[in-house]
Structure 1
Amino acid sequence: MTHANSTRTKDPLLQPLSIKKLKLRNRIMSTSHACGLHKDGFPQEAYQAYHEEKAKGGVGLSMFGGSSNVDIDSPSIFQQLNVGTDAIIPHFQRFSERMHAQGAALMCQITHLGRRGDPYAQDWLPPIGPSPIRETLHRGIPREMDEYDIERVVKAYGQAARRCEEGGLDGIETLASGHMIGQFLSPKTNKRTDRFGGSLANRLRFALMVHEEIRRNVSDDFVVGMRYVVDEGIDGELTPEDCVAAARMLERAGAVDFFNALYGSMDTSRSLSEEVFPGMGTPAAPWVAAVGRFKREVGLPVFHAAKLSDMASARYAVSEGHVDLAGLTRPQIADPHMVAKLMRGEEHRIRPCVGAGHCQSPHRPKCLHNAATGRELTMGHEIRKAEKPRRAVVVGAGPAGLEAARVLCERGHQVQIFEAAPQPGGQMLLAASSWRRDLISTIEWRLAELEILGVRVACNRYMDAHDIMALDPDLVILATGGIPQTGFGHGDDLVLSTWDIVGRQVKPAGDVLVWDNTGRHPALLAAGAALAEGARVQLATIDTTVAQDLVYPESTRWHKEFAKVDLRSQGHMRLTSVTRQGNRLEATLLNELTHESERRLVDQVVVEMGTLPMDDLFEELRGRAGNKGVTDIHALRDLKPQPRAAEGFELHRIGDALASRNVHAAVYDALRLCSVS
C-alpha cells in the first residue's frame, strides 16, 4: 500500500460523512463567508472560480454566501449575496454544476440581518428586529417587528431556500447567532412580551416558523442546517444549557439536519475577532471542547470552524468526536489544495494559515501570503513551467525574495538567492514578535519549499554589482527591502526607529515617546517592547487612533493589549521637532485639530514612518541591464512577460525595495512578475 493510500484509509479527516442522501467525500469543509467576489449581488465567474479551486483541491463541502440576504431590508453591507430574487437561480445552477463536477458538495447560508442592517445602505430601509435594541458593531437602531413583518420574513426564508434547491445546491444553513433568528433566541436582544418573547420556547418560535416554511418549499432530500451558537460567551445571555435545550427542540421538530456550531457573540469588535473569528495570538481550536460538549447532547451531525488552523487541529476535533465536519475556511484561503496535499501524503507542504486576518480586510479574500487566492481567473494556483530555463539571481530573502525564488524554481529556472543578513526573513524577523509570532510561518514555509526544490539561501552574502555580474544572470530580482524612514523634520538625527527598539538594538529606558505615522504594526510593537522593558511609554499618532491601517482583528487586539496596561494613545498629533535639553529630549507635537503645539520632555523618541527602498544596488546595476531596470507595469498588471531587451540581463525590484507596503503586496509583486518570467 502506498503512503497516499494509507493516508486515505486511516486518516479520520478523509472518511466520508452522509447526511440524508448527501454523501460528503471527507470531513473537511469551507464555511460560508462573504468572500467579496460577488458581482451585482450574485456569485458569478470570479466567485465560482474561487470556490471551484477548493473543490479541485479536494474539499468535501464548500459553503458560500456568508449572510446571503433573503429580503431587501436585510441590505448588503459587507459584500453579501442577494438570495431574495429568482435572478440568482441561473448563477446557482452553473455554480453547483462546476462544484459537483469536481466532487464537492455545495451549500449556501441564507439569513436576515435583523438589527445588524444599515438604515442608509441599499434601499434606505430601517433595520428590523425582535426589539429596538441597537447593535454596537453595526450601529443601526431597529424597528420592532410586528406580526406582519414576521410573516413576511418567514416567507422570504422559504422562497430563498426554494431558489437554492432550484439552483442545484445540496443544502442550506440559516444563521442563528447575531442575525435575526439569533436575535429572537437570545434574551439579550429579545425583550418582547408577546408569543415571541419571554420563555425559551417562545423565543425559539421564530426559528421554528422559519424552518417549517423552508421545509414546505424544498424537497425531503434537500439538506437544511443551522449555523448555531452553543454559548454566547461573556457578552451574551444564552447559556450552554439554553443552547442545548433549544437545539433539542429544533431536532424534535425536524427543523434541521445538522448544526454548524459557533461560540460567542458577534455584536462588538472584540467578540467578533476573539470569539467568532479568533485569529493570531489566540490558542488553536479554542472552542472545540465546548462544541464537543454540545455535540454529546444532540443527535445530529455537528460542524465547527473557529481557528482550526491546520490539519492537526481538525484531525483532533474529528477523531475525538467533538465535531463531525471540520471547517478549515481561512486555511483553505491560504491553500485551497490542502486536502489534495493531505491525500498525496504531503501534509508538510500545505501553505499555513498564520491567522493574520488579511482575508477579512476590504481586499477580501486576499490571503496575506498567497497572492493567487481570489485571483483564480487570472493567476491560478499552479505554477506553469517556462518554455526556456533562465539563470536567475534573487537578492534578498524576505517574503518577496523567497516568493520570487520559489516561483522561479517552480518554473524550472536555475535560481540562486542571496541574503546579506545571517538568516532569511527580512522584516518578518522583527514583525513576528509578541502575539504575532505565527507570522514566521510565512518564511519557514517558503524555506521548506525551496529546500524541496533544491535551493538554499546563501546568507551573510552582501552582493554588489560586480558579484552579480560575475554570475552572468539572465534575470535579476532585487528584493533588498527598505530601511526605516525617520526624516520627519527638525531633529530627526536625535530619534530612534521602531526597528531599533523591536530589534533590540537600543534598550528603551525612562520616558519614551513613540510617534506613529503609518497606522501599521511597527510603532505598536515598539511601544509594547518598551513597556516590557519597564519604560514609561507615551503613544501618539498622526491618525485618529492607533492601528488605523490594520484589519479589525489586528486593531482590536492592539487596543485590548494597550487597555490591559492602561496605555492611552493621543490621535491627530504630528511630530514637528526634537531638540536636546540637557541629557533629555524635548519633542514638539502639533495637534492637527486645534493647531496648538505641546512640548514633552522625554528620554527617547521613537518614530515610525515606514521604510525607504534600499536602492544602491539597483542604481549600480540599472545602467548595465538590458531593460534599464524598468518594469513594464501594464505587462505586470496583465500577467504578460516583460519586454525582452536585445542584449543584457533583465532587472526588476519587488516588495519594499520598490515602496513601503505590506506582505501581501510583496508576495504579489513576486508572483505576478516571476510566474511569467
Structure 2
Amino acid sequence: MADLHDILLLPNGVKIKNRFFKAAMSEGMADEHNKPTKKLVRLYETWAESEAGIVVTGNVMVDKRALGEPRNVVVENEKDLDLLKSWANAGTKNGTHLWMQINHPGKQVFKGIVKEAVAPSKVEFEPKLQRYFPIARELQEEEIFDIIQRFANTAKIAKKAGFTGVQLHGAHGYLISQFLSPRHNKRTDQWGGSLENRMRFLLEIYKTVRKEVGDSFPIGVKLNSADFMKAGFTEDEALQVIETLDQLGIDLIEVSGGSYESPQMTGVNVKESSKKREAYFLEFASEAKKVSTAPLVVTGGFRTLNGMKEAILEGSTSMVGLARPMAVYPFLPKELLQGKRETIELAPRKTGIKLVDQTAMLELTWYSNQLERIGKDKPTNPELSPKVALIQSLWKNGLDVFQMRRV
C-alpha cells in the first residue's frame, strides 16, 4: 500500500521522491518581453525546498502571437536559454523534479493582448464571456501542424535548459481542450468529428514531443475529466483518451475539469460526494485507474492530511496535487510529511463589493499577490486584505486585472 512518503516510479523508469505534486498556477512574472525573471527563479527555488516530488510551472506559451496574458513566459527558441537554465537549476534543487507546462491558449486570449485568436472552429463563447475575447478564426491545417511542432520545439528547449519533464496542458478550455470538445470543434476533416479525430491533435503533439525528447524524459498531460458543458467533452470520452495515452506511453496524467465557461476546477458546483472525499475529481480518477496503468494526479480540493493519505492508500490517485495552498503555504509538503500541519485553511476572499466579488478573478488576483511576495523573497501574508490585494493589482495592471488572470 502506497504512502505519501513513497517513491513513485514513472513508466519510463524515472523516480519521483514522494507523492506530492505542486500543480501549475499562472505566475504572471515574465518581463515585458516574456522572458523569465529573477522573481520567477526565486519563486521556484522556494518551491524546490518544499519537498514536493514534482513542481510544475505555470503556462509557458509556445507562440508569442498566442498569449493568455501579457506576462506569460514564451519559449519559441533558445535566445533565453541562459535564463531558462537559471530557472531550471533553481527549481530542481533538493532532488525536486521541475516540469515545464507548455500550452497554446487557442481562443482563450483576451482582447488587446494578441492580434487575433485562433481555434479548431469559428465557434463563439456564450455572449457574457465572448465580450472579453476576440472572435476566433478557424485554423488552417498547415497551422495545426506548425503548432504541433512548436510544442515539440518548446519541450526540446526545456530539456536542454535542465527541466526534468514537461506537461502538455490539455484542460481548462485551452487549445488542446478545444480540439477535444465537440462543442468547440466542428471540423469535418481529420481533426474533427469523431473522438478519434478530435483527440488526434493531442496525440500528434505527444508523439512529436516524444520524438524530440526521447523515452527517458517524462511527458505528462493535464486533461479534463469533462467540460461540464452541454455538448462538450464527456467523462466517457476522457476515459477513452486516457486509455489511448496510456497505450502510447504517457508518463503521468493530471485529472482536472471545466473551463472558464464552467469553472469546476475552482471548486464551483462540486458534488456532495466529492466534498466528503475532499478532492474534486477523485471519483473520476478511480474510473480512470480501471482503463490505465499510467500514474494519475488529482488536483483541487485537498485540505487535510488524512484526506491525502486516504486517497493515496486506496489507490484513487498516485500523487496529491496542490495548487492554491502552496501559494499561501509554500513549504506545505514538508510540513505535511513531517507532521507539522494536518489541515489547510483557505477561506474565500471577498472585498464586500458585490460587483467585484462576483468576478472569480478577484481570488486569482489575491493568490497572485502571494506568489509575487514569494518571488520577492518575502513571507506570504494569509491575512492580506482582499481590498488591499485588489488595489495593488489595479496599481500594477490597471483595470485589465479582471481579464488577465488565468489557471
TM-score range, shorter chain: 0.7 to 0.9
- Equivalent residues of 1:131, 1:189 under 8 A apart: yes
User: Residue in 1 aligned with 2:179?
Assistant: 184
| CA distance 1:236–1:12, change in 2 (3 Å) | farther
Q: Distance in 2 between matches of 1:257 and 1:344?
A: 28
Contact 2:34 2:70 in 1 (8 A): no
Matched, 1:222 2:217: yes
Per-residue Cα deviation, 1:644-669 (whole angstroms, up to 9, x for no partner): xxxxxxxxxxxxxxxxxxxxxxxxxx
Q: 2:111 aligned with 1:111, yes or no?
A: no
Q: State the SS of the aligned residue for 2:44.
A: helix
For the residues of structure 1 that align with 2:110 and 2:161, how far apart are their CA atoms?
A: 29
Ranked by relative contact order (alpha carbons within 8 Å, sequence separation 6 or more), the top structure is 2
Q: Structure 1 residue 361 and structure 2 residue 361: aligned? A: no
Please list the CA deviations of residues 332-356 of structure 1 after superposition, one character each: whole Å capped at 9, or x if unmatched: 11211222222333124x7633353
1:359 Cα shift? 8.2
**1:245 and 2:235 aligned:** no
Do structure 1's residue 164 and structure 2's residue 158 form an aligned pair? Answer: yes
- What is the match of residue 375 of structure 1? 373
Verify: 1:75 aligned to 2:67, yes or no. yes
2:267 corresponding residue in structure 1: 278
What is the percentage of aligned positions where both structures have the same residue?
A: 21
CA distance 1:378–1:169, shift in 2 (3 Å): closer
Give 1:360 deviation, angstroms.
4.3
Task: Give yes or no for contact 2:4–2:337 (8 Å, CA) kept in 1.
Answer: no
Equivalences for residues 263-302 of structure 1 within 5 A: 263=257, 265-268=258-261, 271-272=262-263, 275-278=264-267, 283=275, 284-302=278-296
CA distance in 2, matches of 1:291, 1:236: 22
| 1:327 and 2:321 aligned | yes
- What TM-score, normalized to structure 2? 0.82
1:648-659 alignment, distance < 5 Å: none
Give the drift of 1:218: 1.0
Q: Is it true that 1:87 corresponds to 2:79 in the alignment? A: yes
Q: Distance in 2 between matches of 1:210 and 1:252?
A: 15
Can you list the C-alpha shifts for 1:540-580, whole angstroms capped at 9, x where unaligned? xxxxxxxx9x989xxxxxxxxxxxxxxxxxxxxxxxxxxxx
Corresponding residue for residue 301 of structure 2: 307
- Greater C-alpha radius of gyration: 1
Shift of 1:190: 0.8
1:129 match:
119
Aligned to 1:13: 4
Q: How many angstroms does 1:214 deviate by?
A: 0.9
Q: Describe the superposition over 1:196-247 as per-residue Cα deviations: whole angstroms up to 9, x where unpaired.
A: 1111111111112211211121122111111111222244522211111122
CA RMSD of superposed structures (Å) = 3.2
Is residue 358–residue 366 contact of structure 1 (8 Å, CA) maintained in 2?
no
Structure with more strand by fraction: 1
Give the 3 Å change call, closer, same or farther, for CA 358–308 of structure 1 in structure 2.
Answer: farther
Alignment of 1:55-74 (within 5 A): 55-66=48-59, 68-74=60-66
Q: Tell me the number of residue pairs that the alignment of Structure 1 and Structure 2 aligns.
A: 371
Q: 2:140 aligns with which of 141, 146, 154?
A: 146
Q: Distance in 2 between matches of 1:377 and 1:237?
A: 38
Instruction: Determine the structure 2 residue equivalent to 1:394.
Output: none
Query: Which among 190, 197, 200 is matched to residue 195 of structure 1?
Result: 190
Q: Are 1:317 and 1:323, in contact at CA under 8 Å, matched by a contact in 2?
A: yes
* 2:93 paired residue number: 101
Question: Secondary structure of 1:102's partner?
Answer: helix
| 1:297 match: secondary structure | coil
Q: Distance in 2 between matches of 1:251 and 1:342?
A: 31
Q: Report the Cα offset of residue 361 of structure 1.
A: 3.4
Quick one: structure 1 residues 165 and 359, their matched pair in 2 at CA, closer, same or farther if it must change by over 3 Å?
farther
- For the residues of structure 1 that align with 2:167 and 2:270, how far apart are their CA atoms? 30
Gaps of 5+ in 1: 1-9, 368-372, 383-398, 401-427, 429-438, 440-517, 521-547, 553-677
The amino acid that maps onto 2:223 is Y
Name the CA distance, whole Å, in 1 between partners of 2:245 and 2:97. 24
In structure 2, stretches of 5+ residues that fail to align are: 350-359, 390-398
> Judging changes above 3 Å, is the alpha-carbon distance between structure 1 residues 331 and 358 closer, same or farther for their aligned structure 2 residues?
farther
Name the residue aligned to 1:352.
345
Which residue does the alignment assign to 1:52? 45
Which residue is 2:167 aligned to? 173
Partner Cα separation in structure 1 for residue 44 and residue 361 of structure 2: 18
Matches within 5 A, 1:32-43: 32-39=24-31, 40-43=33-36
* Letter of the structure 2 residue corresponding to residue 116 of structure 1: Q
2:206 aligned partner = 211
Question: How far off is 1:364 after superposition?
Answer: 4.4
Displacement, 1:62? 0.6
Could you tell me which amino acid in structure 2 is paired with residue 238 of structure 1?
F
TM-score norm. by structure 1 comes to 0.51
1:278-336 CA-to-partner distances (Å, cap 9, x unmatched) read 17998332321122222222110111211223333322222221111111111111211
Q: CA deviation at 1:128?
A: 1.1
**Quick one: distance in 1 between partners of 2:142 and 2:5?**
47
Distance in 2, matches of 1:174 and 1:216, equals 15
Residues 340-386 of structure 1 show CA distances to partners (whole Å, capped at 9, x for unaligned) of 222333124x763335388843354234xxxxx5323555449xxxx
Q: What secondary structure is seen at the aligned counterpart in 2 of 1:37?
A: coil
Structure 2 counterparts to residues 400-419 of structure 1, below 5 A: none
Distance 1:78 1:57, change over 3 A: same
Partner Cα distance (2:91, 2:325) in 1? 19
Q: Is the 8 A contact 1:41 1:82 kept in 2?
A: yes
C-alpha separation between the residues in 1 aligned to 2:123 and 2:207? 27
Which residue of the partner structure matches residue 252 of structure 2?
258
Per-residue CA deviations over 1:508-563 (Å, capped at 9, x if unaligned) read xxxxxxxxxx9x9xxxxxxxxxxxxxxxxxxxxxxxxxxx9x989xxxxxxxxxxx
Q: CA deviation at 1:98?
A: 1.8
C-alpha separation between the residues in 1 aligned to 2:245 and 2:180? 12
CA distance in 1, matches of 2:237, 2:217: 28
How do residues 510-529 of structure 1 correspond to structure 2 at under 5 angstroms? Answer: none
Partner amino acid, structure 2, of 1:237? G
Give the CA deviation at 1:87.
2.7
Instruction: Report the CA distance between 1:185 and its aligned residue.
Output: 1.2
Q: Structure 1 residues 12, 358: CA separation in 2 closer, same or farther (over 3 Å shift)?
A: farther
